[in-house]
Amino acid sequence: MLIDNHNRKINYLRLAVTDRCNLRCNYCMPESGIDFSKGDTLFTIEELSRLSAILVSEGIDKIRITGGEPFVRKDLMVLLRNLSKMEGLKDISVTTNATLIGPYIDELKTLGIKNINVSMDAINRETFERITRRDQYDIVHENVLRLINEGFNVRINFIALSGQNTQDIIPMLALAKHHDVGVRYLEEMPFNGGSRHFEGNAWDYKRILAHIKEAYPDYEELPSEPTSTSMNYKIPGFKGSFGVIPSFSRTFCGTCNRLRITATGDVITCLYAQPCMNIREILRGESSEVRVKEQLLKAIGSRAKTGFEAQEKQQGTYTNSMTTIGG
């Protein structure tokens, strides 16, 4: 079992399978992209499967596949097939921008992968295209509705961006009114790959909630898992729900159960920390299973208590992009 130095059980791995993305969201990376990883600096699917198996044997029972955009990786389904056979792995989830998922929806269902988080930062086409710098609104909207209708547990992640999309916060709730879907509003974080100066967060979760309360004063809080990063609510008469995630306010660090590994093997024990080590060559070397376990235990044994503590240790401002970290 993986227990960190603050006695928190780590059972949730966020595994990035690529740092590449077919969108260019302006709060995530510059228009020209970032210096994407090449060749054998990226894990192969076999390596990602082996790494996952090692972690599952150590008590990881939830893996979220993320990126970059996971579906830009042509061999992604091979990994998902391998994961779906892993005993002890109770939950396989995917975070996607839903542009490329269409052809894989049937097989995802067959594999029993039900939890799909879709990033969608606007319900208005122009706003969506301005933020993503790509003309992909129709396919995203269509795939979201398809996923919902096919019975997936869909959650929409909407980053509240000052001056860009906050006029869409209320209209976005129409999805939760008509469908059994969770619309979650997140605070912007400073991981934009240097695409712009991060001013701090003008739309924190309290402001988002106050804004929603003006339109829907009767919303009620729903119970949440102790390790949940979201606070969730129901508006009377709505089929779905909504939530807020204080990703910059960081109110949830006390129950953090997550470990992040990037597509090139960087191990990140807190979103606001620098990678504490790289596991790639260890996985590729001799006695890899024992050594990977040893090294990961070491990493987990020196986690920051909170994202604020991790930030204090950070030298200067953040220049990394979420497309590398995986969200």
CA distance 276 to 29: 22
What's the chain's length in residues? 327
Chain positions 100 to 119 lying near ligand SAM, rule: CB under 6 A, are 119
What residue is closest to ligand SAM based on CB? 327
Q: Nearer Cβ to ligand SAM, position 179 or 260?
A: 260
CA distance 180 to 24: 29
Q: Nearer Cβ to ligand SAM, position 211 or 291?
A: 211
Alpha-carbon torsion, ordered 230, 26, 62, 109, to 10 deg: 100
Q: Nearer Cβ to ligand SAM, position 28 or 86?
A: 28
CA distance 18 to 44: 10
**End-to-end distance of the chain based on CA atoms, in angstroms?**
24
**Binding-residue pattern over the window 231 to 270 for ligand SAM, x denoting contact by CB under 6 A:** ----------------x-----------------------
For CA atoms 130, 73, 141, 190, give the dihedral sign: negative
Q: Nearer Cβ to ligand SAM, position 105 or 293?
A: 105
Tokens 């780590």 belong to residue: 10
Using CB under 6 A as the binding rule, whether residue 166 contacts ligand SAM is answered as no
Using CB under 6 A as the binding rule, whether residue 47 contacts ligand SAM is answered as no
CB count within 10 Å of CB 216 equals 17
Q: Nearer Cβ to ligand SAM, position 240 or 326?
A: 326
Under rule CB under 6 A, how many of the chain's residues touch ligand SAM? Answer: 23
CB count within 10 Å of CB 125 equals 12
Where does this chain bind ligand SAM (CB under 6 A)? 21, 27-28, 66-69, 95-97, 119, 157, 159, 186, 188-189, 191-192, 247, 322-323, 326-327
